[in-house]
Amino acid sequence: MVGRPGNRAGRAGHLPRARGSGIVCVHDLAIPPPHRGRRCAHLVPHPSAGWGLANCGLIVSPDGHAAWIDSPYDRRMAGEFLEHSRALLPDGGRIERVIVTHANGDHLWGAEVVPDAEIVATREALGHIEYEPSPQQLHGLVHGSDPATPLGWYLQRHFGRFDWSATEVVEPTLTFVGELDLRVGQVPVRLFSLESAHTAGDLVAYLPRQKVAFTGDVIFASGPQDPGDHAVHWAGPLDNVISACERVLATGAEVIVPGHGPVLDREGVRGHIGYLEHLRDRTRQLHTAGVPALEAARTLIAENAYPSLGLPERLVITVGSEYRHLNGVEEAADLVATMADLAQVAWERREGAPAASA
C-alpha cells in the first residue's frame, strides 16, 4: 500500500490501508521529482489484534542507509521482517540501526537477526531489561505450564505461537535521556523519551520531513475495519500515557504508527486519548469507592464501554498499575501473579467454562 501526503483517512481516525500493519516502511523517493520528499508506507499485513504482534518500522534513505524501529517477537518473525526489509532496500543497503521504543520483548528481541546494528533506546529502557523475564524463562513458562489451569491455557493460547528457546537479547548500545536527533542517511529522525507510561523507558520516534511518528505502546490502535485490543500498561500512571499521546500530536505528525493496531491519523489519536481518559476516570471512581483493583477491572470489563476491543482481561494489568500509583506503591507487580489473575478472568469469561483457579 502506498500513502501520500494529503491522503485523507478513509474513515475518521485511521488511514486507508491493508489489514494489519506488520511492516511500515517510510522513505524518500529520489525519482520521479513530483514525489521527491514525499512519504510512502508499505504495509505488510498481519492481524492487528493479539498479544505480541507489534508494528515494526523500516526507514530507508535513497543512499542505502536504513534503520528499523522495533523488531518482532521471535527469531522466525524477525527473519521474515528482515526478508521483507531487504526487498525494499536499494542495492548495497543494510539495516544499520534499530531504534527500540521500549524494552518489552515483542519490540526488542528480534533485533538479534541484525547483530551488527546499533541498538538505540532510552537509558531507562536499558535498566528495564533487567526486570523482564528472559526469553528462555518466558518460553519455559509458556510451554511448560499445565494447559488445564487458567494460566497455562491462557499462555499457550496467546503465546504458544512464539519460539524463544534460542533467543539472545541484544542490549542497547546507544542510550539517551531527553531528546536525541539522528539521521538515517538523508532522513532526519528525532527521538524523545517519555515519563513512565507504558513502561519506565518509552520513546517516540518522529520523522519531521515525512510527518510520521512511531509511538511504541503508548498507543494501542483500533479502527472500524481493524478492531484492536484493549491497551495494556505495565507502568503508568494513565495521566502520563495521555500526556505521551498529546506529545505525539504536538509534534505535528499526520501519520501515527502505534505499537499495535492500525495506522492512525490525528483524529484517531484523539479518539484513543478519549478511551484512556475513560479508563482513568472510571478507575479512580472505583478506587475512591473502595473497590479492590481486581474487582475494579472486572467491573470495567462488565461495563464493556468499548465492545469492539479484544482482550478485555488486559484491564487487570492496566487497572492494577493505576491502583499502585493511587496507593503510592512503588514496587512493580509480580508478573506471574498478575498474569494468573488475568488468565483467571479470561477463563471465567469463556462461554460455558467451568470454574477453576490457578
| pLDDT at site 111 | 98
Confidence of residue 157 (pLDDT cuts 50, 70, 90): very high
Give dist(CA 333, CA 212) in Å, integer.
34
Contact 44, 294 (CB under 8 A): no
Q: Tens digit of pLDDT for each residue in 82-113?
A: 999 999 898 888 999 999 999 999 999 999 99
Give dist(CA 164, CA 314) in Å, integer.
22
Number of neighbours of residue 303 by Cβ within 10 angstroms = 11
Beta strand segments in the chain, E: 23-27, 42-44, 56-60, 65-69, 94-99, 118-122, 174-176, 179-184, 187-193, 203-207, 212-220, 255-260
C-alpha cell belonging to residue 173 = 548500545
Q: Tens digit of pLDDT for each residue in 204-256?
A: 999 999 999 999 999 999 988 888 999 999 999 999 999 999 999 999 999 99
Least confidently predicted of 2-16, 44-58, 129-143, 243-257 = 2-16
Percent of the chain with pLDDT over 70: 84
| Nearest residue to 234 (alpha-carbon basis) of 128, 318, 323 | 318
Mean pLDDT for all residues in the chain: 87
Give dist(CA 18, CA 40) in Å, integer.
14
Q: What is the mean pLDDT of residues 140-152?
A: 96
| pLDDT at site 116 | 96
In the chain, the domains with their CATH numbers are 23-349 (3.60.15.10)
Contact 200, 216 (CB under 8 A): no
Give dist(CA 205, CA 99) in Å, integer.
8
Full-prediction pTM beyond 0.85?
yes
Contact 338, 251 (CB under 8 A): no
| pLDDT at site 225 | 83
